[in-house]
Amino acid sequence: MKIFVPQDMAAVAVGANRVAAAIEAEARARNIPVTIVRNGSRGMFFMEPLVEVATASGRIGYRNIGVADVPGLFEARFFDGAPHARCVGHVEEIAYLAKQTRFTFGRAGIIDPLSLEDYRHHGGYKGLEAALSAGPAAIVAAVKESGLRGRGGAGFPTGIKWETVARAQADRKYIVCNADEGDSGTFADRLIMEADPFMLIEGMTIAGVAVGATKGYVYIRSEYPLAIRMMRRAIEIAERAGYLGSGINGSAHDFDLEVRVGAGAYVCGEETSLLESLEGKRGQVRPKPPLPAIEGLFGRPTIINNTISLASVPFILAEGAKRYAEVGYGRSRGTMPVQLAGNVKQGGLFECAFGVTLGELVDEIGGGTASGRPVKAVQAGGPLGAYFPPSMFDTPYDYEAFAKRDGLIGHGGLVVFDDTADMAQMARFAMEFCALESCGKCTPCRIGSTRGVETFDRIRAGIEPEKNLALVRDLCETMKFGSLCALGGFTPYPVLSAINHFPEEFRAPKLPAAAE
């Protein structure tokens, strides 16, 4: 019998490895033959460790299993899918999963991430086959038609980027995957690499075929040790099977892929800074133009896309651009893996069509706060995203709708805060984080963020709060319009949203923030 215990980093962080070892030991002691598959996570992190058992009627799950629960599971004959206090029934029927539209995360948690056979059995490499028979121009056309926009946060149409690189003439072109997922509250890239790494390889390979690039890099942040190991092993397996290297999948196209590891710099998630880092330099932002599509890595035309964007491509090629584009809202087509995080009862990944409201995501899907207290604010889109109060929960999840309300969806993260959150402290933290991570290239970001922290300290100490708040607004204006990239340019989003939606928190003097 087959038992699934996720090896996803978040599942491991709450004891999945110990549970897997305990199940193995218990099975041996009871002389029960079991095969333990270390799958990726389904993304329902609030249920982890979620142990699943394959039965004739489908997979049955047991949630939040600890080592101490293992003997009881065996007593209850969980390996036959029998009832147990922690049993959640058929995993695919759990409302959290059943409500999703899993175009990109369809295999996550189901397959053994390093089994090419599993991958192919669940539709893997259909996209590449379709791409190879359609040819480069048709691939670019399909990506354009799908309406896919950059899932890293900028929301730029992916197909246009590809077209630019396809048209560029050069001796060498590159495909770079931005897996420097530094936004707090996000883990979709990590889940892709740990649960379904071949999908990313396939997406990058399709990109290579589309624009005539022969080399790809996956730039993964060092904070993701498991994703690094998984991608490296998946690449080796794909190479051995002829899916990477020369003449991929029996075609005339060559494509090599390599993992590169970041070194703890948040700003390297910015595309030009990432390219600098790949070249072995300080991760400083490059002014644009030239666009990376024209002069990117080592001066060559380069597709640099977010992990989710590249991982969305196999589905688009396999199932058709129309299938992807037919769901969505306004100009936001397809699906977004929304990541519910922070003080939320049911934290995890929820892939759905654009258009769902922020309130549905936080209250209905997320189930409100983990603490059980009222929701005070949700930070949407990472450390550079705005804080939304519950009064704005009718905002549809859509690039334009969020922009209209002075926010952004970014990389899809939603961090929930309960009513104990100190919004003045969060505003100060946004400036502090910007100061810590600024690459130093442009003045508004480098100096502005430090001045911002100092000004907030004066406000919190009750020193001329009105005058200093006006100063912060002025500073935000300078950072927003004068910074080279989103780090300095978007730090005003969390700062101003906190001030605008929670003005009372900036008036009363507070004790200074803990000395650092």
* One-letter amino acid of 37: V
Instruction: Supply 64's token pair.
Output: 């939040």
341 binds other proteins (CB under 8 A): yes
User: Using CB under 8 A, which of 56, 252, 289, 516 touches other proteins?
Assistant: 516
Please list the residues that pair with 260 across neighbouring strands. Answer: 219
**CB of 13 or CB of 137, closer to other proteins:** 13
**CB of 12 or CB of 234, closer to other proteins:** 12
368 binds other proteins (CB under 8 A): no
**CB of 504 or CB of 516, closer to other proteins:** 516
CA distances from 19 to 12, 137, 288, 348, 358 (A): 9, 49, 50, 20, 35
Binding mask 266-295 for other proteins (x = CB under 8 A): x----------xxxxxxxx-----------
**CB of 158 or CB of 178, closer to other proteins:** 178
347 binds other proteins (CB under 8 A): yes
72-80 long-range contacts, CB within 8 A, separation 24+: 73/23, 74/26, 74/27, 74/30, 74/32, 78/51, 78/53, 79/1, 79/3, 79/27, 79/32, 79/34, 79/53, 80/1, 80/53, 80/55
**CB of 319 or CB of 406, closer to other proteins:** 406
Closest Cα to residue 159, out of 303, 289, 271? 303
| Paired sense of beta strands 413-418 and 375-380, if any | antiparallel
416 binds other proteins (CB under 8 A): yes
426 binds other proteins (CB under 8 A): yes
- Report the Cα–Cα distance between both ends of the chain, in Å, rounded: 54
Contact positions with other proteins (CB under 8 A) in 26-55: 45-46, 48
**With contact defined as beta carbons under 8 Å apart, do 255 and 209 qualify?**
yes
**CB of 79 or CB of 350, closer to other proteins:** 350
CA distances from 21 to 36, 60, 64 (A): 9, 20, 16
Q: How far apart are CA 453 and CA 484, in angstroms?
A: 20
Q: In the bound complex, what is the minimum distance in angstroms from residue 146's beta carbon to other proteins?
A: 27
CA 121 to chain centre: 25
- CA-angle at 375, arms to 372 and 380, nearest 5°: 130
Q: In the bound complex, what is the minimum distance in angstroms from residue 57's beta carbon to other proteins?
A: 29
Instruction: Specify the stretch interacting with other proteins by CB under 8 A; choose among 7-15, 76-84, 321-329, 443-451.
Output: 7-15
Contact positions with other proteins (CB under 8 A) in 249-268: 260-266
417 binds other proteins (CB under 8 A): yes
**CB of 21 or CB of 54, closer to other proteins:** 21
**CB of 198 or CB of 417, closer to other proteins:** 417
490 binds other proteins (CB under 8 A): no
Q: In the bound complex, what is the minimum distance in angstroms from residue 133's beta carbon to other proteins?
A: 31
User: Using CB under 8 A, which of 87, 241, 370, 469 touches other proteins?
Assistant: 370
Contact positions with other proteins (CB under 8 A) in 428-487: 429, 433, 436-437, 439
Binding mask 183-202 for other proteins (x = CB under 8 A): xxxxx-xx------------
Residue 53's φ and ψ, nearest 5 degrees, are -125, 135
**With contact defined as beta carbons under 8 Å apart, do 302 and 164 qualify?**
no
**CB of 323 or CB of 373, closer to other proteins:** 373
Q: In the bound complex, what is the minimum distance in angstroms from residue 440's beta carbon to other proteins?
A: 9
**CB of 150 or CB of 347, closer to other proteins:** 347
**CB of 250 or CB of 280, closer to other proteins:** 280
**With contact defined as beta carbons under 8 Å apart, do 178 and 304 qualify?**
yes
**With contact defined as beta carbons under 8 Å apart, do 191 and 283 qualify?**
no
User: Using CB under 8 A, which of 166, 230, 340, 484 touches other proteins?
Assistant: 340
511 binds other proteins (CB under 8 A): no
SS3 222: coil
DSSP code at position 253 = -
298 binds other proteins (CB under 8 A): yes
**CB of 141 or CB of 261, closer to other proteins:** 261
User: Using CB under 8 A, which of 3, 10, 131, 274 touches other proteins?
Assistant: 10
Q: In the bound complex, what is the minimum distance in angstroms from residue 254's beta carbon to other proteins?
A: 16
- Cβ burial of 366 (10 Å; 0-12, 13-18, 19+) is buried
Q: How far apart are CA 130 and CA 317, in angstroms?
A: 6
SS (H, E, C) 290-355: CCCCCCCHHHCCEEEEEHHHHHHHHHHHHHCHHHHHCCEECCEECEEEEEEEECCCCCEEEEEECC
Instruction: Specify the stretch interacting with other proteins by CB under 8 A; choose among 230-238, 286-294, 347-355, 466-474.
Output: 347-355
Q: Which residues make up the interface to other proteins (CB under 8 A)?
A: 9-10, 12-14, 45-46, 48, 181-187, 189-190, 222-226, 260-266, 277-284, 298, 339-344, 347-349, 370, 379, 383, 413, 415-418, 421, 426, 429, 433, 436-437, 439, 514, 516
